[in-house]
Every structure is written in structure tokens, then in C-alpha cells.
């Protein structure tokens, strides 16, 4: 198990936060996001084919994370979510304006949340996001536009749409 452990630990160190954050945006349930992350790490260890580049590996991991999250939602009942329950509150920033942004993003519909996260945190283009989520690029652009409008409505002057 030595090689498996090393690969898993390296993947966790390098991509664990990204995968977990994406899974959390998908499921809004930390225990489910933890399960998704563990499943992604196991899939990574099972893969024998080498990656073409570090970016190739990153996108592969994110696609697996999206698929695992989607499968989890298919077979496990989804309960109505609350905007900031105790479990999500532990990750919220203390500074009020950042906390407002954190809460606002988590209140968005799932597809908007994922698009915003991949766009603003990971820096992917709408075309790359479409490939990761299995959607059409035009659809992703719509999600991003609507997400920005919603964030502007919720955050007002705290969200500058003229900024990247």
C-alpha cells in the first residue's frame, strides 16, 4: 500500500482543498463533500495511465469530483438546504464583507455556484467550465451572467461587475 498512500497523500496535498471545495459547492453538505473527496482520491490511485501534464491531472480530478457528486445526489436523498447552517458556518470568514460574499455564493442555485467557483477561484474559462460540467458553453455563460446579477443584487456595491 506504500505507493497508493504516497500518491494519495500527494494528490490530497496538492488538490485536496480544490476538490473538497468543488464537492461542497455541489452537495452543500460537508460529510458528503468528504465522501466525494475520498472517492476521488481512491480513483486517482486506481488510475495507471499517466497524465499529459499537471493541468491534465487537475481537470481529470475535477471531472471525477463532479461525477462523484452527481452520482451521490442520484442515490442519496437531497434535503432542503439552509443558507448557512452550523456545518457550513465553520468555514465562513470572520470579516463581514467576505462573509456576505461567502453566504451569497452558497445561496445560489447549484449550477451557478459551480460556475462561479470554477470561474473565480480556479480561473477557468466558460468553455473549460462547460467541459468540466458536461454542459454547453452557452449554458455556462448564462449561468455566470445570472450568478453575477444575483451577487450584485445581494451584495450591491460590494460586488463590482466591472472587475474581473
Q: What is the contact surface with other proteins in residues (CB under 8 A)?
A: 1, 4-5, 8-9, 12, 16-17, 19-21, 24, 29, 31-35, 37-39, 41-42, 45, 67, 71, 75-83, 85-87, 90-93, 97-99, 101-102, 105, 107, 116-117, 120-121, 123, 135-136, 139, 142, 146, 149-150, 153, 159-160, 163-164
Is there a contact between 92 and 100 (Cβ–Cβ < 8 Å)?
no
Residue with smaller CB distance to other proteins, 60 or 139:
139
Task: Give min distance, CB of 55 to other proteins, in A.
Answer: 18
Question: Would you give the end-to-end CA distance of the chain in angstroms?
Answer: 45
Residue with smaller CB distance to other proteins, 97 or 125:
97
Residue with smaller CB distance to other proteins, 53 or 75:
75
d(CA 72, CA 67) in angstroms, rounded, equals 8
* C-alpha closest to that of 78 among 121, 46, 103, 110: 110
Gyration radius (Cα) of the chain, Å? 16
Looking up cell 497508493 gives: 4
Task: Give min distance, CB of 156 to other proteins, in A.
Answer: 14
* C-alpha closest to that of 58 among 105, 14, 8: 14
Task: Give min distance, CB of 129 to other proteins, in A.
Answer: 14
Looking up cell 501534464 gives: 53
Residue with smaller CB distance to other proteins, 51 or 82:
82
Amino acid at each position: 500500500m506504500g505507493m497508493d498512500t504516497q500518491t494519495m497523500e500527494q494528490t490530497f496535498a496538492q488538490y485536496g482543498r480544490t476538490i473538497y471545495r468543488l464537492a461542497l459547492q455541489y452537495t452543500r453538505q460537508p460529510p458528503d463533500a468528504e465522501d466525494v473527496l475520498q472517492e476521488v482520491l481512491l480513483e486517482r490511485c486506481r488510475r495507471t495511465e499517466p497524465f499529459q501534464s499537471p493541468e491534465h491531472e487537475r481537470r481529470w480530478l475535477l471531472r471525477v469530483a463532479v461525477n462523484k457528486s452527481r452520482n451521490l445526489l442520484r442515490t442519496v436523498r437531497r434535503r432542503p438546504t439552509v443558507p448557512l447552517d452550523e456545518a457550513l458556518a465553520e468555514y465562513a470568514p470572520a470579516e463581514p464583507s467576505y462573509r456576505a460574499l461567502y453566504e451569497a455564493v452558497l445561496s445560489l442555485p447549484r449550477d451557478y455556484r459551480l460556475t462561479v467557483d470554477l470561474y473565480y477561484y480556479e480561473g477557468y474559462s466558460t468553455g473549460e467550465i462547460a467541459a468540466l460540467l458536461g454542459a454547453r458553453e452557452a449554458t455556462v455563460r448564462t449561468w455566470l451572467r445570472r450568478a453575477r446579477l444575483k451577487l450584485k443584487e445581494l451584495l450591491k456595491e460590494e460586488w463590482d461587475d466591472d472587475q474581473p
